[in-house]
Structure 1
Amino acid sequence: MAQYYKQPSITESRVNVFLGWEAFNPKGNVAPGRMDQNLCGRLWRQHDRSAVNISVASTTRPVTRPDRATLKSHKYRPAGVGETFGPTFSTHLFRVEIKVPESMDGLPVHLLWDSNSEAMVISEDGLPLQGLVGGDSWCRRADFPLFPDRHNSVAKRGDVVRLYIEIACNGLFGEGRGGQIEPPDLNKYYKLEECCIAVFDPVAWGLIHDVTLLAGLAKHLPEGPRRANALNVANQVVNAVDVGDRETYDAGRKIAAQFLSKKNGEAQSTVYSMLHSHIDLAWLWPMAATPSKGARTFSTHLRLMELYPDCIFVQSQAQLYEWVKDQYPLLWDQICKRVKEGRFVPVGGTWVEMDCNIPSGESLVRQFLLGQNFFKKNFGSICKEFWLPDTFGYAAQLPQIMQGCGIDYFMTQKLSWNLFNKFPHSSFVWEGLDGTRVLAHMPPSDTYNAQAFPEEVMRSTNKNKDSGVISDAIMLVGHGDGGGGASPAMVESMRRMRDVDGVPRVKFSTPFEYFKNLEAKQEDLPRWVGELYFELHRGTYTTQAKTKLENRQSEILLQDAEMLSSLALLTASSAGEDFDYPISKLTQCWKLVLKNCFHDTLPGSCIAEVYRETAEDYAKVRYQCMEAFRIALQYIKANCDAIYKFTRGAKRLKTEVTNGHNGNGSDICDLHGLMICRGNMNNLQSDLRVIETCVAMKLATTSLVWQECVVGEQKSLLQKESNSGTRRVLLATHDTPGGFGAILEPRFLTKSSSEAIRTVQVSAKAKADGRMVYILENGVVTAEICETGVMDNLRLLGQDKPTREALTQKNGGNRLVVYDDVSQFWCGWDTEVYSFEKQQPIGSAVSCKIVETGPLRVALHVKYPPTKAGSTIEQCITLRAGSSRIDFRTEVDWKESRKILRVLFDTQVRSDYASYESQFGYVKRPTTFNHSWEIAKFEVVGHRFCDISEPGFGVALLNDCKYGYSVRDSTMRLSLLRASKSPDDTADIGKHFMTYAILPHWQSFPCHEVVNEATDLNCPPEFYECPSVGQIPSSMALTFEMQTDSSLEATLDTAVISAVKKSERDSNALVVRMYESMGARGRAVLRCPADYIIQRAQVCNMLDETVPSSDSRLEEVQNGEFVKSVLLEFQPFEIRSVALFFGELRN
């Protein structure tokens, strides 16, 4: 035997040349002219192009629901190798006819196809058979076995095979112009590089995987004899094999087997391996391209299951399954069969793998509700593990939502990307905002796209941060993001590592099996409490502002449509009538909203084409919600007299300032209608609420206190713009109850009772330095706005306490600043900590004038000079009667590049922490930069408000469509707009409308005023004029309301209603979802609309399934034989759902 020269690097290189591939790609590292030197060049022989006849039909979009008829119906023309097809994101359907020549009789024959793009093989019957990926991509898969159902896949001479191949003119990761995440080249054409049949060599295939594993072990085993021996054995195989002589291959395999057959000891850890493909529903390609990505990926794994009976594939996202079910019915049938076998495993439980920063709490619940409904209906069971490998942060309430939807386990990966601090755990117990705990695992292989390389398997043990408790781990194998999934090479690699000395045992498994094993160790696992903050991609709180605005508005629209439809349904049921609750239409709307909550879409990290799709979706949601709202509103209006009669006038409101008359019969007016409420209107500084609305009545002779609107119309989600004959005005309600629902004949303030408020005033005066200052005041607060647009002073006036200054005199508030926003890596994703170092304040206002002077609101219009890039900003700064909230209605025409616009308020509040609204509650984060964990949170996500408080006083910064906050020391910043250039180089360019507000308050946070004012800013009460309602003699509330009641020992006043909707489980029940918003504990009363026929109440989970009464912590408060109210116990930040079963009107 020849002497072995101990030069490891040279030997490694020799072995790699012998193999001829990189990352399982035969085109990976060898020039075509040298393929005869290596094993990869011997995988295929007898290439025959003449045996394949192809023709092509160009299509505008992927073929859906393919069958024989539709596939044949296209007009085909002859095509051949060398032709190009395009442009980008177009599809082309090829008809392929293959006749096996005599020379290939009895041999395994494959079709080789390389269109330098994604492609899918489809049978004559329309069944997707396998996905293909061409070009030089590391995800390349360019062969298809023609006879997989035969033993050894052998062909017979004269066999004729007819197939269709659909190519998608894009790569697996889109087609970035000059870089993967750059905007796409929309005019690229793709060359058909290869189309032939060839004989596959299974012996060469086996040998190449043996040697590949040896080479990997020689590089990644720990230093020692076993590692050295692996390289020596690989070298021996090279010496024993003549690449040009197949007769020598078996000898090489026997040498390799002597090494690979040595087994592990009992103490070796286990890697629970599963095939997987993380599929982005939209990213560097439009969402319309994703259903076919799903079909390609799913069909590929179904073929792998035929080749390898032991492999298991896991896949999340109900939306993806639904697309495949609707568009590829034959493929769907095969998926269902494999699911029953337990080899195709649905995971996740959600509609999509969603963003967890931006969506509301109710939106997160609906992700699980619709997802679990789909999995239960189609596969017979719900998912037990939440599957979210790739998203940009994890909300603190997720553990409670997960458990409320039947999920106990959580798998993620993205935290391994943290830029500042390494996340300290691999397996841990995650405790949410309310104390709910779930088991969590983050695969230590540090990827959800593993390729089954030895180094990934070794890393699963060596990088396991909790190996002292449990050294086993999950490994997810398969190409992801753009789909594709696992390849035969990956499966071959995993099978060889099932039990090899020195390597963790690789076991094909399911997530559930792993988590049951982990569950036995949970008492010893570390615990992480609160949100899982992701130390990267903070720009996604702000990028694509219009999409974030549309998402928030859609969430409110759906909430309103469900609420009013529920009231109409309850009205009809109580009156013994029918109302067609639009559950199907509203569910479809939720699906559109949830689909666009995908973790690249809503965060803003997709190409421009995606946002054209989302705009169409949101328009559909708006239309359907407004239709549902209109129909329900008409029903309630038409039946208001009947409502009054069958409720026997219950819940009458006091009439001293009521609409229509006062206590002595004077001040008669003709304004009648219905007001929609979305939350508490109590617990505020004032009982007065100013409402902006459109009315048709003649205001000149009315007795109401009113004011013509001059400033731009406030966002009104449901009410149409004023028509001819109507006027947009401000009205005021007084002592109107809070709640979630509708109030018939609300009480508006009349002139005879106007002493109930102090009117708001505005004035202008010159300061000593010659500058003009504008003073807005209403008896609650006084604000001074300098002619530059900066708020110099903001004073909260105390009746029994000293006036408190909210802002510093040095910097004040409403300072608009443009910062440089150049990211290190991911332009659309990231804003960096150093962005604060380079800034340019917006110049002093060029005009400032008073446009409204009361009595209900004052307004100041401010216009700023253009920036260097030509961006313009205008504002209306408004103050209403009775409120300490000052609104900044802002219009921006944005023309920047790689900049970020923020507004600053420098407060006179000292606190080490600020509070940010999150889903179903709030989280506290440091305002200090003491160490890297705090510095990493230089930009954080918040929903409708951020608050900084000290004992007895606080300042809140509110918004109606923004999410990126930064609070350092006492300075509050809100990010308004970014101007990223990839993957969408037009992101956020154009006009934007937004409102932010500053709210000083006496109570330190947590306090009702901040929550309620944030609700009022985002979804204020809306009034709908309706003369027919005037037959009701006094106001009547058709609302669900959270109340206190000392007689019932119900003193908790921090519970909030999140949704009122029809139950998914019982057609005769409504579900009311509530949550405790401020971290308090106690009992609260859910008051139902008075005297509606509620037969019983029962606690349900977030899937609308009722739970045993012994676990309910619920008491019914009866009104005769029917339920009047429900008494509920709440733990801090607890989310509770109650099913209300309704019936017909009593005799």
Structure 2
Amino acid sequence: TPQRIPYDEAVRQEFRPAKVGDSFGPTWETCWFKVELSIPPAWAGREVHFVWESDGEGMVWRDAQPVQGLTKEGEKTSYILTRSMKEPEPRSLTLYVELACNGLFGAGKGSMIAPPDPDRRFTLSKAELVVFNRDVYELLMDLEILLDMAQLLGEENQRSFQALYTANQMVNTCDVTDPSTFPAARDLAAAIFSQRNGESQHTIHAVGHCHIDSAWLWPYEETIRKCARSWVTVVRLMECNPELTFACSQAQQFEWVRSCYPGLYAQIQDFVAKGQFLPVGGTWVEMDGNLPSGESMVRQFLQGQRFFQEQFGRICSEFWLPDTFGYSAQLPQLMRGCGIGRFLTQKLSWNLVNTFPVLKTVKNNKDKGRVNHSAFLFGFGDGGGGPTQKMLDRMKRMTDTDGLPRVQISTPDRLFSALEKESSQLCTWVGELFLELHNGTYTTQAQIKKGNRECERILHDVEVLSTLAVARGSTFQYPASQLQRLWRLLLLNQFHDVLPGSCIQLVVEDALQYCAGEQGVWLGGHSPSGALWDLLGGAAGVSVLDCQEDGSIAMENGVIRESVPDGCCANQFALFDDVPLYWDAWDVMDYHLETRKPVTTLLKPLEITLAGGLRGSASFSLQIGESSTLTQEIILDATCPYLRFLTQVEWKEAHKFLKVEFPVQVQSTHATYEIQFGHLQRPTHWNTSWDWARFEVWAHKWLDLSEHGFGVALLNDCKYGASAHGNVLSLSLLRAPKSPDAMADITHHQFTYAVMPHLGSFQEGGVIQHAYNLNFPLHTVPASPAQCPAWSAFSISSPAVVLETVKQAEDRPEAVVVRLYEAHGSTLVAWLQTSLPVQEAMLCDLLERPVAQGRLLLEQRGLRLSFTPFRVLSVLLVLRQ
């Protein structure tokens, strides 16, 4: 069936005979098998397995419950029917196998990240009942460990020779035709494994793990089954290995299993209570660490931590983000505000240029002299799978063996507790954790990124208007459940292979459908209108002059000043060859900069479209590359300090990168980029390898290059990739990778960016506020002055403080949460005034829990709030009823 049908529906279908060697498909279809088996009486007392091998992912069902995941790529090809057949165990039974026509890593053709082959077939290569010879298996494990020691410890290590000599003795002792020789051979190995380490040996904290991308080379719906296949296998392992611990992140995945596999979820809850199945991370999904807004990051923790508290009775104490493409400098503050003081990642070991000083292996441990503990997460991942029995059996032999690190099954809490005891010895990293790889993800799949920015804006506005409607005594009911559902959809789309665009076409379609659904829920319409100009009355205007001699057009509004160096052209489009070494949708390599070609072919010359008054504009069209076109309207509004570029592109390129460049009359060694709840500076030069590695970076609504007294900002409404080199500001517009989505970005695009010269610093010039204005246009409602008297809900005394969020409190419908942050990088006191009927006010954390000594006095000037640079404050306002 093309659908993923549930068990109850599947077993009611009519089955036809199938045999080993049959193939099934095509890709993404599901096949259900009814397996009737009978264990021979002669196998009484033996360990009996059901073996199933296929290049598709399988799940064994027994008695209407999932009992075992089967994935050849994950080294799981058998289900243990019985460890020792005894009476009155049933010798005959019926199993069902659900086979997904995709592998652990999707269905790429020729390469893991290639687009899925839609016509791929999946073959059943083995379906057998077998007796498992555990004595042979244990002997094999002993030999494997000894041979690994001999090979990996190296010739300079005496233990490698001891291990090799022992393995040789075992071969001489063991007769494979005579099982009675096995114990003597195993005793030889046990003698090596029983030799203990000294007290100084490094300790590795081993935790079972199964990184499951919530979507990547497979769609969301397949991830639900991946979670079930992987986690039911972990449950089976825990039943036989009570020492096993397993760390599992992403509240969304728990919610999927809770909804679709309630029986399995109940077993998971039992093992959570036993301290073996360990919910970690505290977020709704393992989101991208760069592109979500500050408020979106808060909601990742808010939704995730609340779920873990409700379902398991506790919140997570560690932020678990092993595989995202960089980490915002704001994350530590947001983590602390959500009850988290610990952080785990391994992705920075992927750095392309500079070696990042983090723990990787014992040999590569950069902190050897400072700490004696490190983490080892074991299990198949990305596509699921998790730990295997073989991994556990190997680990038992290495628990405390002389010459090897001391390996202990542990938990994240025990690891971090051990590190915290030595925290005074640890180093500190200040600022963002920039991944020197995968910087193409700031631009790939532009429609997903545009949808993300629009949905963030819409949810912000819905919450503000809904809160104010309720607070002013309206009969309107705050749509809490609808907003939670919409937020969770947005948070899901911010997963670190979806929002970055490193996913297959099926995932893109899902994500865009979710975005469209969110935008359709807007309460009462949200089209910005020209009513702003009605408010200007007879204020200043725009003049547009057509210069006949060279065809140029001059636009002026008395606010914007010239900022382009003589002989240079701003708003210059440039096309680059974009062929990374391997990770196509992910990477932009530095050598692409050598292929720059200016876009100069006019399809339609510059012409005036609005002649002036309150608005003036001109438009033109360009050909880009072989077959793409760009049409742009350049808009200047009265009293507006920035020039807007409303852009439409029909994009049909392959492995090309489109940017727009603004050379400016500014000199500075650093440019400033907006990040979540603040900004940071990055170099405009390539003095060192660390500087050069930032040839392509990310920003949110603006970037700015300023010298003393003057600067130029580049604003945008949905772009994230950017750079500033020398005096050239560049915005990355579109890419055209072919893997894992062969059609990535090949469609119509519409976006807006703006250039804003300003006097003074970007703080003094109001860049932050105007970037908000570009992204959050006014909403207007037709009404007379009598119907809508002048009214202001909130005001803040300092332009350095941004009031970011107004929402109803999660657990207190009579309370409002207001979130503010210091945006300039300064220490100050600001007064928050409100016309809402506030009865009580207090500071709360990002989980909306009141903080100790956080009560605020209701003074005549408002609420007194103290800020340090980029501090995020949440205020809980309890309203009079």
**TM-score, with length taken from structure 2:** 0.98
What's the CA shift for 1:260?
Answer: 1.4
What's the CA shift for 1:281?
Answer: 0.7
Judge conservation of contact 1:425–1:526 (CA < 8 Å) in 2.
no
Aligned AA for 1:1031?
Answer: A
Aligned AA for 1:280?
Answer: D
Q: Which residue of 1 aligns with 2:483?
A: 586
Q: Which residue of 2 aligns with 1:555?
A: 456
Aligned AA for 2:703?
Answer: C
Q: Which residue of 2 aligns with 1:1040?
A: 794
Q: Give the Cα–Cα distance (whole angstroms) in 2 for the partners of residues 941 and 617 of structure 1.
A: 24
Which of 1102, 1112, 1117 lines up with 2:846 in the alignment? 1102
Which of 51, 61, 65 lines up with 2:3 in the alignment? 61
Q: Give the Cα–Cα distance (whole angstroms) in 2 for the partners of residues 875 and 246 of structure 1.
A: 80
Q: Give the Cα–Cα distance (whole angstroms) in 2 for the partners of residues 534 and 1074 of structure 1.
A: 29
Q: 1:953-1006, CA deviations, whole angstroms, 9 ceiling, x for partnerless residues?
A: 000011111011111111111100000010001000011001111000001133
What's the CA shift for 1:720?
Answer: 4.9
Unaligned runs of 5+ in 1: 1-58, 427-443, 445-459, 631-717, 722-727, 734-747, 782-795, 797-804, 1045-1051, 1119-1123
What's the CA shift for 1:598?
Answer: 0.4
Aligned AA for 1:1127?
Answer: R
Q: Which residue of 2 aligns with 1:132?
A: 70
Aligned AA for 2:53?
Answer: D
Q: Which residue of 2 aligns with 1:120?
A: 59
What's the CA shift for 1:719?
Answer: 2.7
Q: Secondary structure at the match of 2:584?
A: coil
Q: Which residue of 2 aligns with 1:193?
A: 125
Which of 1075, 1078, 1082 lines up with 2:821 in the alignment? 1075
Indicate yes or no: 2:281 matched with 1:348. yes
Q: Which residue of 1 aligns with 2:545?
A: 763
Which range is displaced more, 373-382 or 495-504?
495-504
Q: Which residue of 2 aligns with 1:827?
A: 584
Judge conservation of contact 1:317–1:371 (CA < 8 Å) in 2.
yes
Q: Which residue of 1 aligns with 2:31?
A: 92
Q: Secondary structure at the match of 1:1116?
A: coil
Q: Give the Cα–Cα distance (whole angstroms) in 2 for the partners of residues 206 and 982 of structure 1.
A: 43
Q: Which residue of 2 aligns with 1:1143?
A: 880
Aligned pairs for 1:452-601 (under 5 A) are 460-572=361-473, 578-601=475-498
Judge conservation of contact 1:108–1:154 (CA < 8 Å) in 2.
no
Q: 1:773–1:153: structure 2 CA closer, same or farther, 3 Å change rule?
A: farther
Judge conservation of contact 1:1078–1:1133 (CA < 8 Å) in 2.
yes
Aligned pairs for 1:994-1009 (under 5 A) are 994-1007=751-764, 1009=766
What's the CA shift for 1:490?
Answer: 0.4
Which range is displaced more, 357-366 or 73-82?
73-82
Q: Which residue of 1 aligns with 2:40?
A: 101
Q: Secondary structure at the match of 1:980?
A: coil
Aligned pairs for 1:204-603 (under 5 A) are 204-222=136-154, 223-426=156-359, 444=360, 460-572=361-473, 578-603=475-500
Which of 690, 699, 710 lines up with 1:933 in the alignment? 690
Judge conservation of contact 2:51–2:129 (CA < 8 Å) in 1.
yes
Judge conservation of contact 1:812–1:907 (CA < 8 Å) in 2.
no
Indicate yes or no: 2:551 matched with 1:772. yes
Judge conservation of contact 2:290–2:328 (CA < 8 Å) in 1.
yes
Q: Give the Cα–Cα distance (whole angstroms) in 1 for the partners of residues 51 and 87 of structure 2.
A: 15
What's the CA shift for 1:249?
Answer: 2.0
Judge conservation of contact 1:817–1:842 (CA < 8 Å) in 2.
yes
Q: Which residue of 2 aligns with 1:430?
A: none
Q: 1:99-139, CA deviations, whole angstroms, 9 ceiling, x for partnerless residues?
A: 11122111110000012211011122x321111113xx3x2
Q: 1:235–1:1069: structure 2 CA closer, same or farther, 3 Å change rule?
A: same
What's the CA shift for 1:70?
Answer: 4.1
Q: 1:1091-1129, CA deviations, whole angstroms, 9 ceiling, x for partnerless residues?
A: x32111111100011112x245x43225xxxxx832211
Q: 1:1065–1:1106: structure 2 CA closer, same or farther, 3 Å change rule?
A: farther
Q: Give the Cα–Cα distance (whole angstroms) in 2 for the partners of residues 880 and 827 of structure 1.
A: 40
Q: 1:907-954, CA deviations, whole angstroms, 9 ceiling, x for partnerless residues?
A: 110000000000000010000100100000000000010000001000
Q: 1:98–1:817: structure 2 CA closer, same or farther, 3 Å change rule?
A: same
Aligned AA for 1:202?
Answer: R
Q: Which residue of 1 aligns with 2:863?
A: 1126
Q: Secondary structure at the match of 2:42?
A: helix
Indicate yes or no: 2:520 matched with 1:623. yes
Aligned AA for 1:247?
Answer: S
What's the CA shift for 1:261?
Answer: 1.3
Q: Secondary structure at the match of 1:162?
A: strand
Q: 1:200–1:118: structure 2 CA closer, same or farther, 3 Å change rule?
A: same
Unaligned runs of 5+ in 2: none
Q: 1:155–1:393: structure 2 CA closer, same or farther, 3 Å change rule?
A: farther
What's the CA shift for 1:532?
Answer: 0.3
Judge conservation of contact 1:104–1:155 (CA < 8 Å) in 2.
no
Which range is displaced more, 845-854 or 872-881?
845-854
Q: Give the Cα–Cα distance (whole angstroms) in 2 for the partners of residues 815 and 300 of structure 1.
A: 56
What's the CA shift for 1:749?
Answer: 3.7
Aligned pairs for 1:28-177 (under 5 A) are 59-64=1-6, 66=7, 69-124=8-63, 126-134=64-72, 137=73, 139-147=74-82, 152=84, 159-177=91-109
Q: 1:405–1:154: structure 2 CA closer, same or farther, 3 Å change rule?
A: farther
Q: 1:729–1:1101: structure 2 CA closer, same or farther, 3 Å change rule?
A: closer
Q: 1:35-62, CA deviations, whole angstroms, 9 ceiling, x for partnerless residues?
A: xxxxxxxxxxxxxxxxxxxxxxxx3333
Judge conservation of contact 1:384–1:407 (CA < 8 Å) in 2.
yes
Q: Give the Cα–Cα distance (whole angstroms) in 2 for the partners of residues 924 and 156 of structure 1.
A: 72
Aligned AA for 1:220?
Answer: L
Q: Secondary structure at the match of 1:615?
A: helix
**TM-score, with length taken from structure 1:** 0.75
Q: Give the Cα–Cα distance (whole angstroms) in 2 for the partners of residues 153 and 470 of structure 1.
A: 49
Aligned AA for 1:596?
Answer: N
Q: Give the Cα–Cα distance (whole angstroms) in 1 for the partners of residues 596 and 124 of structure 2.
A: 51
Judge conservation of contact 2:328–2:675 (CA < 8 Å) in 1.
yes
Q: Give the Cα–Cα distance (whole angstroms) in 1 for the partners of residues 761 and 660 of structure 2.
A: 23
Q: Which residue of 2 aligns with 1:855?
A: 613
Aligned AA for 2:158?
Answer: P
Judge conservation of contact 1:357–1:394 (CA < 8 Å) in 2.
yes
What's the CA shift for 1:1022?
Answer: 1.9
Which of 1095, 1117, 1130 lines up with 2:859 in the alignment? 1117
Q: Secondary structure at the match of 2:766?
A: helix
Aligned AA for 1:847?
Answer: P
Q: 1:212–1:854: structure 2 CA closer, same or farther, 3 Å change rule?
A: same
Q: Which residue of 1 aligns with 2:652?
A: 895
Q: 1:557-599, CA deviations, whole angstroms, 9 ceiling, x for partnerless residues?
A: 0000111110111012xxxx64321100000000000001000
Q: 1:668-726, CA deviations, whole angstroms, 9 ceiling, x for partnerless residues?
A: xxxxxxxxxxxxxxxxxxxxxxxxxxxxxxxxxxxxxxxxxxxxxxxxxx4359xxxxx
Percent of residue pairs bearing the same amino acid type: 43
Aligned-residue RMSD, C-alpha: 1.6
Aligned AA for 1:859?
Answer: S
Give the number of the structure whose alpha-carbon radius of gyration is greater.
1
Which range is displaced more, 179-188 or 74-83?
74-83
Indicate yes or no: 2:533 matched with 1:732. yes
Judge conservation of contact 1:1115–1:1128 (CA < 8 Å) in 2.
no
Judge conservation of contact 1:272–1:473 (CA < 8 Å) in 2.
yes
Q: Which residue of 2 aligns with 1:1060?
A: 806
